[in-house]
Structure formats: C-alpha cells, structure tokens
Structure 1
C-alpha cells in the first residue's frame, strides 16, 4: 500500500459522533486538504459465499470491493477508517482498487480541524440493510 496509516492518531481522533444514534465518529485533529489520503478501510477479507452467513451478513462494517471480495471493518485487523459515518453531503469518498483489492478514503473537500469525516455509503448499502439513509 502506497500510504502509511501507522501515525493516524496524529491526524485523527475517534469520539462521539455529531450525528444522533451514530455512535462514534472520526474527527480531524488537523486541516485536511482536498484530495488528501485519510486512511485505508481494512479488516478481515471475505468472499461472496462467506458474507451470506451470520454474523457477516448483518454487519454494518461490511464493504464490497469487488463482486467476490469484501472487507469486514470490525474486529481484528480493522482500522480507524471504519469509524467514518454516512452522510448525504460527505467531505470524503471511498476509492476502490479492484486491481489491488483495497479501499481507501480521501477528502473530496477541505476538512477543518475538529470537523467530523463522512462519506456516502451508497444506495446499495442501505438497500441491503432495508432502511433509508439519514
């Protein structure tokens, strides 16, 4: 991976989200420039058959990278990026590499110090959950 996330605590803080019922969120401790790398979404790698079973199918932290390659962003191997919450007006986005089978988050606008980081989880995520996004 071309980016090193090992020093993430210098730039980000996990604390109670500004969104009601969202739990914890990821906040910037420094200014983040548009286009800047925020972090990789990491965790246990699962295939299409595995995700159809519990506890994976009901996880809120399951991200599709390819049709048969998923990342479970909770538990062992997960990263701080799994704390990023959904918003219809995000300040970050997911960049998926099907070649390298990675998912990373980058800023799509300037993020101020103290601001919570959000990305849009996408319609498919909410359809699979059977709920409407907030």
Structure 2
C-alpha cells in the first residue's frame, strides 16, 4: 500500500474518531452542534461565486458543504502525513498525534477565523476544550492507524 493511501485511510479513521468524540460530547453535555462549518461553507460559496440556492435547499447545501469540508480536512491531513512519512523512520503515535491534531484543527479554524466566522481569541475554556479534545483524538488515532498500516 502506498504512503498516501495509508495516510488517507488513517485520516478517514481519525475523522470518524473525531466525529464520535464530538457527538459524544454533544450527547453528554446536551449541547448543540456548531454552526461554524455551515457559516464557513456559506462564506466560501459567496467568495467564489457559487449559488447555493434559496431557503431550505440553501441551508441544507451549506450544512452538507460544511461537513464535506471537515472530511476534506481530515483526509487531507492524513494524506499529507503519508507523504511526509514516506521513507522516514517510525515515529511514536504519542509524539506525532498532537501535531496531526493541531494541523487538522488549524485546517478548520484558520479558514473560519480568516472568514471572520469565529474569533478563537474570544473563546472560553469550554469552547477550546470542545475543539482541542476531538482534534487530539483525531491526531492520535490517525498516527496510530498509520503506524499499524506500515
């Protein structure tokens, strides 16, 4: 199996782990899902001139596009990791996992901040934990799965 394919598979499993962690947190705390991905999708569509329609159809497309962007980020970080790891020695998951989590977090939070959908500087500790913990789970899972696939 090629390193990029391994990275994609590892990123896919990491993304599932991130989603399970996020939805588990929502279930335990009774909190609503974030509307940030939907807002990012809406603003990106506006910037590139894509018409998402009107009313309920627009809302549904924004939600789907926001979710799609999350999967692209998770798979993209995994694929990039596969490319970077090609030919290098074994790195322990505990060491590289937080870096992969930070990369995935930056991949979702940086565009949201750049589009002025959110301002991480204004987040409270609970908001940070709701973002950091699932991304850390993503990174550790992605690194562990990649290591197993090697």
The TM-score with structure 1 as length reference comes to 0.30
From the two aligned structures, give the one with the greater helix fraction.
Answer: 2
From the two aligned structures, give the one with the greater strand fraction.
Answer: 1
Larger radius of gyration: 2
Q: Relative CO higher for 1 or 2, CA cutoff 8 Å, sep ≥ 6?
A: 2
